[in-house]
Amino acid sequence: MGKRRPLIAGNWKMYKTAEESAETARQLVERVADVGDVDIMIAPTFTALASVFKVIQNSPVALGAQNLFWENEGAYTGEISAPMLKSVGCQYCIIGHSERRQYFAETDETVNKRIQAAIRIGLRPVFCVGETEKERESEQTLSVLDKQVKNGLKGLILDQLDKLIVAYEPVWAIGTGKTATDDQAQEVHQFIRSLVEKNFGSALSDSIRILYGGSVKPDNIAGLMSMPDIDGALVGGASLDAESFSKIVKYKLKA
Q: Which residues are catalytic?
A: 97, 169
Dihedral angle over CA of 10, 86, 45, 35, nearest 10: 30
Q: Which of 235, 242, 248, 249 binds ligand PGA (CB under 6 A)?
A: 235
Q: Which helix (H) or strand (E) holds 100?
A: helix 98-103
The least CB distance from residue 195 to ligand PGA, in Å, is 21
Q: Say whether residue 220 binds ligand PGA (CB under 6 A).
A: no
Nearer to ligand PGA, 119 or 218 (CB): 218
> Which one, of 187, 190, 192, 184, lies nearest residue 214 by Cα?
184
Q: Say whether residue 11 binds ligand PGA (CB under 6 A).
A: yes
> Which one, of 11, 6, 32, 16, lies nearest residue 246 by Cα?
32
The least CB distance from residue 202 to ligand PGA, in Å, is 28
Q: Residue 234, class by beta-carbon neighbours within 10 Å (0-12 exposed, 13-18 middle, 19+ buried)? A: buried
Q: Quickly count: other Cβ atoms within 10 Å of residue 40's Cβ.
A: 23
The least CB distance from residue 173 to ligand PGA, in Å, is 6
Q: Which of 5, 76, 158, 175 binds ligand PGA (CB under 6 A)?
A: 175
Q: Say whether residue 215 binds ligand PGA (CB under 6 A).
A: yes
Q: Say whether residue 49 binds ligand PGA (CB under 6 A).
A: no
User: Which stretches of the chain bind ligand PGA, using CB under 6 A?
Assistant: 11, 169, 174-175, 213-216, 234-238
